[in-house]
Every structure is written in C-alpha cells, then in structure tokens.
C-alpha cells in the first residue's frame, strides 16, 4: 500500500532524513517517535509534499507520489490530510467555517471569498463535528474552545477532505493529559471505523505504545526501530533516544530541545498558505 524507499532529505550538509525505508501493507495506525531533530516532521512534510525529497521514492497504491505535479499533487495532499501541534485553525472564525475550509481545494475562489458553502457540505461538517463530540461548539469562534476541542476541530477539518491517510505532527504535544487522551482516542477511532491510515509523530513513548499498532523510531534521520509496541522494550527505546543507563521513559518528551530543532513555525505557515490558496 505504502512503500517508502531510501527516502532522504538534506538541508545543506545536514541530513534530516537519511535513507528511510519501510513498507505498510494495510491501513495501520503508526506512531513515529524520536528525539527532537530526529527527522520526524521532515518525513511527514515530504510525504505530504510540503517539502521535496532529496532522493528516494514514496509509493502509495503503486504511484510514486514524489513525482506528482499540479493537480495530481494537490489531490495527493488532500488524500493525506495534515494535523499540527498548534491546530492551525483560524482563531476568530467560527468552528463550522473552520471545518468547511477542509473543502477549500475543491471550491472556486469566488465561493471561497464569500464564504459560500454548499448546504450538503455544511451538514457533513456538522455530522463530523458530532462524531468528534464537539458539535455543540459549531457556532463558537475557534479560539473560545479548549486545546483538545480545537484539535478535534482540526481533525474534523481534515476529515472533510475524506483523506486516505491522516498525518499528525505531534498532535497532543500542546495538550494536557485529559485532552491528549480524547484526541488520541478520536484518531484511533477514525483509524478503526473508517479504515484510514494514521501516521502520528508522538513525543511520548507511552502514547505510541498505547494507541499505535506499529511504532517507528527515528534517530539522526535514520529509522532505528520498526516494530510492534510489544517489541518496543526499554532497551529499544534507549537506542532510539540515544540515552544512557539513566534513561527513563518520562524523559522522552520533545520539550527537551537540543538546539537543532524548533522548526515548528514553517509548517504552520505553509499549511495556512495552502488553506488560503
């Protein structure tokens, strides 16, 4: 279904993703873990074509998506909807309009300018919000919602595109544990009920173990672990995080910055640009 082969991204002399290869046979919920700067975001951004790969291929259902251009590239971007740590909603706009912006790619500039949404789309947006347990907030401004609610609105916006894959870049890194749980449960449910593939960069091991069928560990751009949560022993985790004997699982948060990362803004900007095309 998905074949990633020798995928590489270099920024100057820095190799962000280094000959990454893996194969996914069926829709799976995959967690990507690793320290800050390991290449997790760069991988998702290449997959979604927000950034170009330096070399390698990424084949989905038989097509190398890295070669798609124009309309085909935009269609692919709709097929793999992206969710970000900072939700990327339009804060002052109401929730349902935010969700309806998930259909922007398929609407005319004229309709977009005047916020004209087809009635069927509005009903569908409300249904999706209902499913995610946030429909009662449909008329509120996005900024009035809690972080967990906003992230569920962002998921609803992604679902409006009816994507085959949901790519989530640290979707719960800004949330408290309660909200984090509702968001991960929502992603899990979407995977199970709709059969959509979910690939989520996660900053804690326990989340990856708890919600994912498969865990990929990255270190310095390379895939150093690929297996089931059961196979992800403390020893394997140590290898991924490059920690010594003092390694503890509570220390796997991406909040521990090593100075090489902190590049969360560009993707937010790119996503907003994409939405406002």
Binding positions for ligand ADP, rule: CB under 6 A: 11, 14, 16, 34, 36-42, 260-261, 263, 266
**CB 203 → ligand ADP: shortest distance, Å?**
9
The H-or-E segment that residue 75 falls in is: helix 70-79
Nearest to 80, CA basis, from 99, 95, 55, 58: 58
Task: Quickly tell me which residue has 């408290």 as its tokens.
Answer: 176
- What is d(CA 219, CA 240) in angstroms, rounded to the nearest whole number? 6
- Neighbouring CB atoms inside 10 A of 193's CB total 9
**CB 135 → Mg ion: shortest distance, Å?**
31
Partner that binds at residue 252, options ligand ADP, Mg ion, none, CB closer than 5 to 8 Å by kind: none
**CB 253 → Mg ion: shortest distance, Å?**
12
**CB 144 → Mg ion: shortest distance, Å?**
28
Size of the site for Mg ion (CB under 5 A): 2
Three-class DSSP category at 156: helix
What does the DSSP assignment read for 43-71?
HHHHHTTSS--SEEEEEETTEEGGG--HH
Partner that binds at residue 106, options ligand ADP, Mg ion, none, CB closer than 5 to 8 Å by kind: none
Q: Give the interface segment with Mg ion, choosing from 35-43, 59-67, 204-212, 240-248 (CB under 5 A).
A: 35-43
| C-alpha 251: how far from chain center | 22
Which residue of 32, 33, 41, 87 would you call a contact of Mg ion, by CB under 5 A?
Answer: 41
Q: Give the interface segment with Mg ion, choosing from 5-13, 39-47, 110-118, 137-145 (CB under 5 A).
A: 39-47
Three-class DSSP category at 137: helix
């Amino acid at each position: 279904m998905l074949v990633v082969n020798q995928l590489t991204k270099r920024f100057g002399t820095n190799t962000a993703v280094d000959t990454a290869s893996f194969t996914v046979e069926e829709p799976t919920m995959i967690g990507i873990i690793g320290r800050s700067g390991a290449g997790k975001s760069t991988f998702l951004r290449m997959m979604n074509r927000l950034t170009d790969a330096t070399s390698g291929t990424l084949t989905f259902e038989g097509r190398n998506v890295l070669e798609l251009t124009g309309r085909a590239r935009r269609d692919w971007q709709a097929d793999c909807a992206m969710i970000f740590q900072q939700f990327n909603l339009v804060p002052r706009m109401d929730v349902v309009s935010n969700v309806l912006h998930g259909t922007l790619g398929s609407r005319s500039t004229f309709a977009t300018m005047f916020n004209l949404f087809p009635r069927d789309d509005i009903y569908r947006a409300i249904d999706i919000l209902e499913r995610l347990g946030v429909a009662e907030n449909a008329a509120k401004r996005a900024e009035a919602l809690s972080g967990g609610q906003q992230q569920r609105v962002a998921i609803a916006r992604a679902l409006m595109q009816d994507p085959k894959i949901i790519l989530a870049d640290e979707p719960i890194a800004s949330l408290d544990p309660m909200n984090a749980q509702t968001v991960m449960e929502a992603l899990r449910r979407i995977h199970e009920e709709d059969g959509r593939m979910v690939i989520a960069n996660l900053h804690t091991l326990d989340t990856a173990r708890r919600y994912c069928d498969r865990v990929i560990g990255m270190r310095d751009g390379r895939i150093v672990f690929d297996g089931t949560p059961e196979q992800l022993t403390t020893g394997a985790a140590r290898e991924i995080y490059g920690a010594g004997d003092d390694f503890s699982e509570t220390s796997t948060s991406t909040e521990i910055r090593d100075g090489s990362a902190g590049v969360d803004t560009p993707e937010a900007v790119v996503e907003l640009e994409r939405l406002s095309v």
